[in-house]
Amino acid sequence: MQLRYGINPQQTQAHAIPTTPDRWPVRILHGQPSFTNLLDALNAWQLVHEAAQALGKPAAASFKHVSPAGAALSGPIDEVTEQLHGIVGSRITDLTSAYLRARDADPKSSYGDIAAVSHPVDADLAELLTGMVCDGIIAPGFEPGTVERLSTKKNGRFLILEADPAFIPPPQESREVFGVRLNQDRDQVPISRDLLDVVVGAPLPETAADDLVLGLIVLRYTQSNSVCYLRDGMTLGIGAGQQSRVDCTRLAGAKVDTWWLRRHPTVHALPFVPGLRNQEKINWQVRFIEGGLTPLERRHFAQALIEPVDELTPDQRAEWSRRLREVAFVSDGYLPFRDNIDHAQRHGVTYIAEPGGSIRSDEIAVACREHGITLARTGLRLFHH
């Protein structure tokens, strides 16, 4: 398969070769992928395929730079998401709901993503995607007319890949780095509720167990170190690729805060001028939440609004934050220090899953007891590089 280019455009010679002779896991239906496009698509497809099989619902992911910006199962769409996408009162398919919930975790980062869904693309999802800044999609099939509808995006450069759900990769995988070929067994340990060994707190409710399972699957395909926060079958914040685990926890926690504050009545009701694009609304919501607008940003923000809006006070933010509960938190490696627990609980975390095995695992358990958090250990590390 000839690729558009490598990781960077100056890497002009790039191609892909199947490791199983004459058997490809994906088929190009439209467009030409770059090296990174294909990495995103292959990782994203594995995530949604595994999540749908493990949890019995349609799954979707929004991938950027070989990590998910968000992932979700099908489920209800709240008023904030409905209003943003102009679907208030409209009926949408389960698959569309899964992608909307996945993209809503971090819609700023999802700009120009590769979308992945576990079931064939239907007309509803295809119509939604035509109005979004999305660079491509991978799915196990496409209903009649959807490929033609999507192929007009990006002036005809929208990438459409069809995954083979029956494809089984070889038991070993390899990569080359600086003249060295590295080989390893493929990580094939099944992820299910059976991994969740509760060591602190009451038994897990079914919804919490499913959130933790989804989180484990998400992190299996996220650049390490990584953690994620989840609730009601969707990620709220993912921290990826940090050298310090607590930095992951804080980064993902900040994304949770942004997601939750986007639901604050003041932010939800920001009086944007008619005709402002959705992505511009999202970007201004995020900057309004972050605060500290520069004088130039203040002028531009004022031009985006019909009328001025007062900034949220620290007390308003704190009061709103206290309302977020029943959040699940998952780590791809053991939690080395209790600071991860102390930070996570600030974002509504009630349930945690981590491998265990740290020399300070007892301190982690003590911290969870102090905060009233149910802790489950999996014994399974899920590093991904």
Q: How many alpha carbons lie under 13 Å from residue 147 in its C-beta half-sphere?
A: 16
H/E run at residue 177: strand 172-177
Burial code of 158-197, b = ≥16 C-beta within 10 A, e = fewer? bbbbbbeeeeeeeeeeeeeeeeeeeeeeeeeeebeeebbe
Which residue of the set 37, 43, 225, 340 is catalytic?
Answer: 225
| Phi, psi values for residue 302, rounded to 5° | -60, -35
Q: Whose CA is closest to 46, among 327, 335, 378, 382?
A: 382
Burial of 82 (0-12, 13-18, 19+ CB in 10 A): middle
Cβ count within 10 A of residue 258: 20
Which residue of the set 65, 108, 268, 281 is catalytic?
Answer: 65
Residues paired with residue 330 on neighbouring β-strands, in sequence order: 228, 353
Strands 159-163 and 374-377 come out as: unpaired
Give every CB contact of residue 284 below 8 A, 6+ residues apart in sequence: 270, 272, 301, 304
> Is 225 an active-site residue?
yes
Integer Cα distance of 266 and 284 in angstroms: 13
Measured at the alpha carbon of residue 64, what is the angle toward residues 356 and 214, in degrees to the nearest 5? 40
Which residue of the set 30, 64, 119, 343 is catalytic?
Answer: 64
H/E run at residue 184: strand 180-185
- Tokens 């995103």 correspond to 40
Strands 349-354 and 374-377 come out as: parallel
Give every CB contact of residue 55 below 8 A, 6+ residues apart in sequence: 73, 210, 213, 214, 233
Asked if residue 244 lies in contact with residue 337, where contact means CB atoms within 8 angstroms, the answer is: no
> Is 385 an active-site residue?
yes
Residues paired with residue 234 on neighbouring β-strands, in sequence order: 72, 231
Which residues form the catalytic set?
A: 64-65, 225, 385
